[in-house]
Homo-oligomer: A and B are copies of this chain.
Amino acid sequence: MTASVSRRSGGRSARRAARAAPLAEALRPIRAGMPGGRYAPLTEADVARIHGAALDALEQIGLADAPPSGVEIMVQAGAELGTDGRLRYPRALVEDMLAKAARDITLCGREPAHDLTLSGNRVHYGTAGAAVHMVDVSGRSYRDSTLQDLHDAARIADRLDNIHFLQRPMVARDMPDNQSLDLNTLYACCAGTTKHVGTSFVEPGTVDQCIALLHEIAGGEDAWRARPFVSNSNCFVVPPMKFATESCQVMEKVIAAGMPVLLLSAGQAGATAPAPIAGAIVQAVAECLAGIVYVNAIAPGHPAIFGTWPFVSDLRTGAMSGGSGEQALLTAGCAQMHHFYGLPGGAAAGIADAKLPDMQAGWEQATSNVMAGLSGLNMIYEAAGMHASILGFCHESLILGDDLIGQALRCVRGIEVTEETCGLEVIRATCLDGPGHYLGSAQTLGLMQTEYVYPALADRTSPKEWEELGRPDLLANATARKEAILAEPSAARFDPALDARIRARFDIRLPA
């Protein structure tokens, strides 16, 4: 049980030489869109029961508070408006709309290299949320989050290979009004990263200016519609089983503008959703199926993400606990329902209840991120940087999250069992004729970069080396990396002429 064989001369120089060669993109051991699915918390019978219960809920209980426009659209499609003001959905309507719903959708990046294909069990990790605080790691304290914090998060995410998209993770609390907030949020995200951006709109009235900004960035409406690089994270329901009237109006506007929609149902088990994990999934599925009816009644096949995002309460206090095992199960169970419907799906994982990026944060973020990946969830939202049960965002944690997710992605990639990986030739050569170890074997050298994932900041030194290096501190190193990234010019920043046009036309609050 030797912990280190680093002093053996076998292959170290050979390995160093191999490392010197750059690694072709195609050979990278992990990447966006790798298929998960080897973990399935639900049996087929479980899935069928949840589906049936969701259909029953839509047929018997239905949803209240649809805006008049939504009532009209959905009644015309076949929904029934009760005297209690609730819309109820016959099973056949839901099934018809499921048949029309978009599958295998692409979420575009501003750079095509960052396009995400949402199909099957393909897994993508990214940020999300609406944190209202920034975590100050060195001061061990919380403060209000700002537009600059948001932009910095976008710039950092742009540089992290394992963060595949940037949904707005925090609220710029220094903005004076809703229009300014929504417009500047969009600007700060898009000016910081060329990866796909998700954002939300506080009210329908702020949408037009934001769409105009997107046309400007894209180089015209046609270019925007050809490759919409921003999606709308839309909390279209207020669980349990009520539409969020204004958000629905936002949804109608963004669909008209050609923007993909994340149909986000964010109930909280034990508070705004049933306390049993299965019951919370039933309600989230029912609500998102109502969303599928809504979207496809407006625009059949419009790209929409089935956003069952049930959260968990700590039932002792009613407070949210995003870092719990119950949360990890909820999210993985939802992923299975997405696969059952064959729809692109997303849910939340990676949330820490921990206030700081400490050991608790590590285990909380890993548990749900790993399970979400193994379950084959298409869009893993809130995967990095999220603390205090989504109330706080942390740049250092985002950077460390890239390492954490790298290992999760390695787990998603799984075990390749082939004639080559299981063949006896290497064992035979090593044991019968060879050196008695595999350090310098051609197979080992060949797999070094294509099979194994190496962390950027996580430390793997021996205690002796660690001592010699001055006992490096994980968080201090993350802060140093953050400062290095932010000291460089943003690779995603707009062309100066474009930026000048934008600033002339819109009230951009981020310093040029």
Contacts from A to B (Cβ < 8 Å): 1-6, 8, 10-12, 15, 19, 38-43, 45-46, 49-50, 53, 56-57, 60-61, 64, 84, 130, 133, 140-142, 235, 240-242, 264, 266, 268-279, 281-283, 311, 313-321, 323-326, 328-329, 333, 353-367, 370-371, 374, 388-392, 397, 400, 403-404, 406-411, 414-418, 420-424, 426-428, 430-432, 436-439, 441, 443-444, 447-448, 451-454, 458-463, 466-467, 471, 474-475
For residue A467, which residues in chain B have a CB less than 8 angstroms away from its CB? 141-142
Q: Find out whether the CB atom of A276 lies under 8 angstroms from the CB atom of B420.
A: yes
Number of copies: 2
Q: Which residue from B277, B324, B423 sits with its C-beta under 8 Å from A416?
A: B277
The answer for the CA separation of A357 and B436 in the assembled complex, in Å, is: 35
The answer on a CB contact under 8 Å between A459 and B317 is no
User: Judging by beta carbons under 8 Å apart, are A390 and B3 in contact?
Assistant: yes
Closest partner residue, chain B, to A314 (CB atom): B460
Chain B residues closer than 8 Å to A452, beta-carbon distance:
270, 314-315, 324, 326
Q: A428 and B329: CB pair below 8 A?
A: no
Taking a contact as CB atoms under 8 Å apart, the answer to whether A5 and B271 are in contact is yes
CA distance A5 to B275 in the complex (A): 14
A468 to chain B, nearest CB (A): 12
Query: In whole angstroms, what is the CA distance A408 to B311 when docked?
Result: 18
Find the residue from A61, A142, A364, A406 having the highest chain B CB count within 10 A: A364
Given contacts A366-B370, A427-B57, A459-B354, contact A276 B438 (CB under 8 A): no
Q: Which residues of B contact A323 (CB under 8 A)?
A: 407, 458, 460
Contact check: which of B316, B365, B404, B448 meets A316 at CB < 8 Å? B448
Contact in complex: B61, A424 (CB < 8 Å): yes
CA A401 – CA B311 in complex, angstroms? Answer: 24
Give 5 nearest A-B pairs by CB, closest first.
Answer: A362-B362, A325-B410, A276-B421, A363-B366, A46-B417
Looking at the complex, which one of B311, B403, B428, B474 makes contact with A61 (CB distance below 8 Å)?
B428
A404 to B321 Cα, complex, angstroms: 14
| B residues near A411, Cβ cutoff 8 Å | 325, 328-329, 367, 371
Q: Closest approach, in angstroms, between the C-beta of A44 and any C-beta of chain B? A: 11
Residue pair A316, B19 in contact (C-beta under 8 Å): yes
Known: A271-B437, A283-B427, A414-B329. Contact between A388 and B61, CB under 8 A? no
Closest to A458 in B: B360
Residue of B nearest to A275 (CB): B444
B42, B141, B363: the one within 8 Å of A407 (CB):
B363
Q: Are A320 and B362 in contact (CB under 8 A)?
A: no
Given B324, B390, B430, B463, which contacts A410 in the complex, CB threshold below 8 Å? Answer: B324
B60 touches A1 (CB 8 A): no
A390 and chain B: residue at smallest CB distance: B3
